[in-house]
Structures are given as C-alpha cells and as structure tokens.
Structure 1
Amino acid sequence: AGISFLLVFMMLIARKVNYIRIMDKELKVLEGGDLEYEVTELGSDELYQLAHGINEMRKAVLRREEEERRNAQANQELVTALSHDIRTPMTSLIGYLEILKMGRYHSEEQKEEFLEISRQKAFQMKEMTDKLFEYSLVTGKMEETYHMERMEVDTILSAILDGQVSDLINEGWEVEENLSGYASESSVMADVEFFQRVLDNLLSNIRKYADKSGKVIVRAKEGEGGFTFSIRNRVLHEEALGGSTGVGLKTCQKIMEAMNGSFQVEKTKNIYCVSVTLPIIRPQGAGRQQPGQNRI
C-alpha cells in the first residue's frame, strides 16, 4: 500500500512539474511580445488559478492596446479632417484678398463686403486651428462635441445663397437655383459650425473638379426624408475625381450622420451630385409653400 501511494504521489508530482515546464515555455512566448498566445489552463488548483490570472492580464493588456490604437486612429482622422477643412476657407480668403489687392470691386460697398467676408473666413480658420491646438495639447484626446440647435430652413437657405453660392457667382460660375416647395415654418436640428464645414467642403470640390463651362445646379426641397440640399455639376472629365483622397467626403458623411442626417453622392458619367439631408421639425398643421420659381 505504501509503495502504491508513493507511486501515485510521484505521478502527481511529475504531472505538476511537467505543467510548470509547459507554463515556463509559454511565459517565455509572452515575454517575447506575443500577447495573443494563450497560456494552457489545466486542473483546478493553484497552478490553474495562476495560468487563468495570467490569461486575464494578457487579455486586459490587449484590450487596452486596442483601445489606444482606436483612439490614436480617431485622433489622426480628426486631425486630417480638420486640416483638410482649414484649406477651404483659406482658399476662399486668398481669393478675396486677391480681388481686393487687384482692385476688382465695383464700389466701396462691395469692397467693405469682401473685407467682411475675408474677416469671417479668417475667424473660421482660427476656430478650427484653436480646436487642433486644444485637442492635441490640452485634452490629449480628440473628441468633437456637437451643439445642436433649431434652425429655420429659410435661414439656412439664405445663408447658403448669400454665402457659398454668392462666392461661386463672384468667381464667375454660372449657378442655377432650383428651390422646390417647402413649408416656411419648417426647421431642422443641426450644429451651425459643423454644417458650415459640410457646405465648405462641397463648394471646395466644385472649385477643384467641376467643369466651369457647365452650370452648377443648387436644389433645396422638402420630402419624406427631411430637408435636402443638393449640388449638381459636370466634372471636367471622368477621371477628374481620381486625384481626390476622399477625406472631405468622409468628413461630410461623418458630420451629417452625427447630426442624425444623411449624406449621399451620385455619379453618372460626367455628372456629379451631392445631397445632404436633415430631419424636418414641422409644427402641427403647418402648410406648404407653393414651389418657388427657378432663379438663374
């Protein structure tokens, strides 16, 4: 009986020693940096608890590394998007400064108007560069906060027509405004600053890729999906968009989705159309206007 007990005891000891050797080899794998390697878990004793604890620590480190990787990627994407968007008002600002320098304005009133637009573009650039500085040096974490507020559709259209569309016309583009019927009382929820960035991106793409001999058609309408603003233009050639990185369009899509809206791109041969849609907030019993006349 004593010999049998001794043999069983020696077998158990040998099994534990063998398990310790296995763990020793596997820990060396982890030391080499392969955190995906899973330590063998056997039995239910202290060695099992040790192996299980090591695996839990390994998984926690992997989760933390993945989170850091996602944060770094999000930070990089945001820096890229903001840097891209800064170029749009900068290009517009340079254009207006060139007009002022060359004296290509018709009156002192127009000169003051161009100066005010230049001032607004400069402040817009300052806001975005301030964000870059704040995100990268102060908070250390790149996050964009949306401040949603109620905006009347009439106000949005007036801002678009007096701002971006007016800029295109001043630059010599032929713009057709096609404003379908919509309820004058209708409103949408949006972040003004971010919506401005979307519009700036759309107009920037027109300047880069549109055929200036063709019309730029601006449409605004209200439907079941909400209030939709679209820009349709003819591109220079089928490969005109080949040089685009797509950063601006991805930024627009992300912004519109964050505001519970949508962003859609349609391409047919040499025609390019981009539409942005926001949900309508319409008072109960509000009527609809008759469709407006096209303005050219």
Structure 2
Amino acid sequence: MAHPHRKYTLAKKLALLILAAAIVSGIVFLTLQKITNDLIDGYLSSDEYYDQESAKYIQKFSRYVSENELSSTDRKAFGEWVKKENYINLTIFKDEVLQYDSIYSAADESAYGKERMTQYAEQHSYPVQFSDGEGRVMVDGFYSSRYHDLAFTLELLGATLIFLLIVLLGIRKSLRYLQTIHQEIHILEGGELDYEMTVKGHDELAMIAKSIEDLRKAFLDKLQAIDELQEESRSLVTEMSHDMRTPLTSLMMNLEFAKKEEAGADTCKDQYIASAYEKALQLKNLSDNLFAYFLLDKEHEPELETVAVKEVIYDLLSDQVAILQQETFKVHLLGELPDSYINVNVEELGRVFDNLMSNILKYADPKKDINLTFLSDQEIFEIHISNAINETNDSQESTGLGERSIKRMMSRMHGQFERMEKNGVYYIVLRFWHIKI
C-alpha cells in the first residue's frame, strides 16, 4: 500500500523540475530576444548606418575589381566575392544597363545587357572603375542579420545554461541526501548499529532510508533477543548446577554409607538407599524440566486455532481439578466461563495446565483451599489461581523452570503469564484476548 504522505515520486519531481526550468528558461530566452532585437533594430537600422556600411562594401569591391582587373562582365568573379562577404546583394550597371545582380538566377541572366537602370539604383549606386570603363555599383546589405544571428546564439546559450542551472540546483538536494544515505550505510557496515539513519521526505530515497532503518532496528532487536536468551541460558545453567549439586552430593553420600554397611546386620542401609532413591528422583525431575524448557526453543511456532472458552478450558481444567481432589486438595471455582473465543494451541495450553497442577501438587499446602477464579470483560479473559505455600516442603525447586516454561508457552500463544507471592500465598494469572468471529 502506498504511503499516505507520498505525494511525489522522484520521476514526478524530476518532470516538474524540468517543466519549471523549461518555462523559466523560455521566458528568459524570449525576454533577451526582445531586448536584443530592439537594440539591434534601434542602432543598426538607421539610414546613416546603412549608407555607411554600403560605402565600406563599395570600397572593398572597388579594391577587389582593381586588384583582379575585372571587367563589368566578369560575373563569376562577382559571385565569388558576394559568397565570401555574405549578407549583401550586389548590383552592377554599365552604360545604364544591368550587367550583374547577385539575386538573379541562371534563368534571369537574359536580362543582362538589356535591363535599364532604375531611378532608385541611380540614386543609391556608386561609381567603380572596371577594366572596360566606369560602371555604377549598388550594394544592399542585411547588415543587422549577422548581429541577430549572434544575439540568437547567445540568447539560446544563456537560456540553456539557466535551464541546466535550475535542474542541477533542483536535484542537488536529492543528490546530497543520496550521498548522506551512502555515508550512513558505510557507518552501519562498520558495525555502528546504534547509528540512526536519516529519513527525510516521502520519495523513493526516503523509502530506501526508511527500509534500511527498519532493517537496522529489526537486526538490533534480534541481537538483543539473542543476548537475552544467552543470558537467560547462562543464568539457568548456573542455577541448575547449584540445585543439582545438592541432591547429587546427598545421593553420593547415601550410596557411600550404604556401601560401607555390613550385609545382614541391623543397619540403616535401607534408609540410605531410600534417601538415595528420593534424591535420584529429584535429579530426574530437574533434568526433565530442563529438557522440556530447552525443547521449546527447538519447536516451531505453534499453529493457533480459534476455540470456544467454555469447551476447551472446561475440558482441560476438569481433569486437573479431579486430580487435585484425589490428592485431598479442596478446590473452589469462582466466576463463570465466558461465551467467547480465544486463539490458542490446545496442545501447548494442556502443557501449561499440566505444569501448573504439577507445581500445586508439589508446593501447595494440602490443608488450605485452592481458589480458581474466572474473570472476563470485552477484551480479555483471565484465569486466577491462588494457593497457600507448604512451608514444610524442603524440596522446593529454586530454578522456577516450570514457571519459565509456562511464561514462554503463553507468550508463544500471544497470551500473558503473571505470578506473585504475598504472605505465604502464591498467586498466578493466565491472560488471553478475546477473538471476534
């Protein structure tokens, strides 16, 4: 889905920039053209300038004729001179008859020697000495054209430079931002993962920077999760080694005493063996819990399904409550199961209740009541369990592996687990979120 603030992509920005640059440079070009045309027409189109320039070309042509000893009929030489000079029109008369006109084509040459000299030509022509006698020469020049062409070239060059300048200034910000992204990527490559990427704007460059920033955060979160898991594992190994050392030492001592007792005598050998067996069971229980806890890390994320609270929770708890009652525990059910649905994995939820009931059997005071309460509102469903702690139980598990397993399994089902001890009473809460169907 497109970003709600993403108004302009890079392509649209560049198109708008080029359009704006074209409009500005076009206005500049037309303005310069108007100014230069007015200047050229104002200063180079006067009669005085025209007559002055014509007289210069008449002098140049007269020298050309003298140097090459041309007659009034050397039309090929006249054409070469006109091509060389450019921007002029040359007309030659002799004896008041047309001998050459540079604008005439080959089909018009029949007029040479026949066409009479006009009054305009007589007024605007100058005498030139040819090898066959004096003639009259008239030069009409487009003297301002060369300046118009030069001005047009300069105007076009100026407008192009302005166009390029606007475009370069317009993309400079994006290029600078791209360079910033490049430098920050190098910083991240160097291992500085705490360095935050600069995210500016809403175009493709900003999206790239945002993606890199999200990737950086996700990678940091993954590293933090790995560190927490490693720290938890180290802590667990330390605690387990301590808790396993005590029963293991006791086991070895009882076996050593039993070994030294004489066979057949009235001794404490059976007592030592019974104590050793009890410690062995305790070690097995600790190892089983440790295995089950670490097995959760190897399992894939559970597949959740939407189930009815009344059906699933009732089935799971009824079996557990029956076991507690067989062990002479008194269980009080408070509240009602809501007519709603939750997302769980039934197998893991069963393991959660198995761990809870196992802890109750081991650590709860059988002389005190166990309260099991159901609470529910529009969003959540909670199961509260409270029981008095059996203070005479000296085999209490200090690692809390059962609780850790419960917490991890609840988290895998997107639920929550909370525990608390107060005044010799143990409280736990299992929290689920309702699912709308």
Q: What amino acid is the match of 2:243?
A: D
1:50-100, Cα deviation, whole Å (9 max, x unpaired): 212211211221122122222222322332332222123213323423442
From the CA coordinates, give the structure whose radius of gyration is larger: 2
- Describe the SS at the equivalent of 1:117: helix
Find the counterpart in structure 2 of residue 84 from structure 1. 242
Find the counterpart in structure 1 of residue 210 from structure 2. 52
Question: For residues 131 and 36 of structure 1, do their structure 2 counterparts lie closer, same or farther at Cα, with a shift above 3 Å needed?
Answer: same
Conservation of the 8 A alpha-carbon contact between 2:387 and 2:425 = no
Alpha-carbon distance in 1 for matches of 2:274, 2:421: 31
1:201-248, Cα deviation, whole Å (9 max, x unpaired): xxxxxxxxxxxxxxxxx9964587533322599xxxxxxxxxxxxxx7
How high is the TM-score relative to the length of structure 2? 0.36
Is 1:16 the counterpart of 2:160? The answer is no
Conservation of the 8 A alpha-carbon contact between 2:330 and 2:369 = no
Conservation of the 8 A alpha-carbon contact between 2:420 and 2:427 = yes
Question: For residues 132 and 123 of structure 1, do their structure 2 counterparts lie closer, same or farther at Cα, with a shift above 3 Å needed?
Answer: same
Conservation of the 8 A alpha-carbon contact between 2:240 and 2:399 = no
Find the counterpart in structure 2 of residue 192 from structure 1. 358
How high is the TM-score relative to the length of structure 1? 0.51
Question: For residues 22 and 277 of structure 1, do their structure 2 counterparts lie closer, same or farther at Cα, with a shift above 3 Å needed?
Answer: closer
- Describe the SS at the equivalent of 2:199: coil
1:33 corresponds, among 168, 183, 191, to 191
- Describe the SS at the equivalent of 2:389: strand
Alpha-carbon distance in 2 for matches of 1:76, 1:38: 31
Find the counterpart in structure 1 of residue 130 from structure 2. none
- Describe the SS at the equivalent of 2:201: coil
Conservation of the 8 A alpha-carbon contact between 2:331 and 2:369 = no
Alpha-carbon distance in 2 for matches of 1:128, 1:134: 10
Q: What amino acid is the match of 1:230?
A: E
Deviation at 1:9, TM superposition (A): 0.8
Question: For residues 278 and 40 of structure 1, do their structure 2 counterparts lie closer, same or farther at Cα, with a shift above 3 Å needed?
Answer: closer
Conservation of the 8 A alpha-carbon contact between 2:197 and 2:212 = yes
Q: What amino acid is the match of 2:240?
A: L
Alpha-carbon distance in 2 for matches of 1:221, 1:88: 30
Question: For residues 120 and 231 of structure 1, do their structure 2 counterparts lie closer, same or farther at Cα, with a shift above 3 Å needed?
Answer: closer
| Structure 1 portions without partners, runs of 5+ | 156-183, 200-217, 234-247, 266-274, 280-296
Is 1:251 the counterpart of 2:417? The answer is no
Alignment RMSD: 4.7
Find the counterpart in structure 2 of residue 210 from structure 1. none
Find the counterpart in structure 2 of residue 226 from structure 1. 387
Find the counterpart in structure 1 of residue 377 from structure 2. none
Question: For residues 56 and 152 of structure 1, do their structure 2 counterparts lie closer, same or farther at Cα, with a shift above 3 Å needed?
Answer: closer
Question: For residues 87 and 263 of structure 1, do their structure 2 counterparts lie closer, same or farther at Cα, with a shift above 3 Å needed?
Answer: farther
Alpha-carbon distance in 1 for matches of 2:241, 2:369: 33
| Structure 2 portions without partners, runs of 5+ | 1-23, 26-158, 300-315, 333-352, 372-385, 408-416, 429-437
Deviation at 1:40, TM superposition (A): 1.2
Alpha-carbon distance in 2 for matches of 1:125, 1:61: 39
Deviation at 1:18, TM superposition (A): 1.6
Question: For residues 10 and 132 of structure 1, do their structure 2 counterparts lie closer, same or farther at Cα, with a shift above 3 Å needed?
Answer: same
Q: What amino acid is the match of 1:10?
A: L
